[in-house]
Amino acid sequence: MIQNLQKDRSFYFSYKIDLTKRIQAIIQETLNSTTNSLPDLINLYPNSINYVPQFAFNHNLLQEFKDLQYAPFRTPVIFGFVAISKISAMMSFALISRRDARRPGRRFITRGLDRDGAAANFCETEHIF
């Protein structure tokens, strides 16, 4: 099973950008960074402090390393698709799709909503120019 997941090549991570968040949330946090109490750590390790657990497939593993001293080693992993294409000399196009980690599964086996309202096989896609 693990070999099949590795062959699929659908897991993505980044040390510089938090892939679990929408670009709107990242920009809003940047604008409001003066009110944050941990600005230095967030600037150094942006994706290990404030990631979205809904889209982090290794969230349960990262919970064992909650302390701030482990921030350099905490990297959330998303399951989805990431592509960046250069359109012109001044513009690039990025497509990021991330699947919800709460209810993954095959589309014929996992269906509907759970008691918390999490949809099966939920996928969020954003286009960035």
Each residue's pLDDT, cut to its tens digit, for the chain (129 residues) gives: 556 656 667 888 888 888 888 888 878 877 776 655 555 656 666 667 778 888 888 888 888 887 777 777 788 888 889 999 999 999 999 999 998 888 766 666 767 777 877 777 788 899 988
**Can you list the alpha helix ranges (DSSP code H) found in 20-102?**
23-31, 39-44, 46-49, 59-62
- pLDDT score for 86: 94
∠ Cα 46 52 55 (to 5°): 120
* Structure confidence at residue 57 (pLDDT): 87
- Tokens for 116? 């918390």
Predicted confidence at residue 127, as pLDDT, reads 92
Predicted pLDDT of residue 5: 58
CB 80 within 8 Å of CB 12: yes
For the chain, domain boundaries: 10-128
Phi-psi region of 36 (alpha: psi -120 to 50; beta: other; left: phi over 0): beta
With CA atoms as reference, report the closest residue to 79 among 5, 15, 129, 16.
5
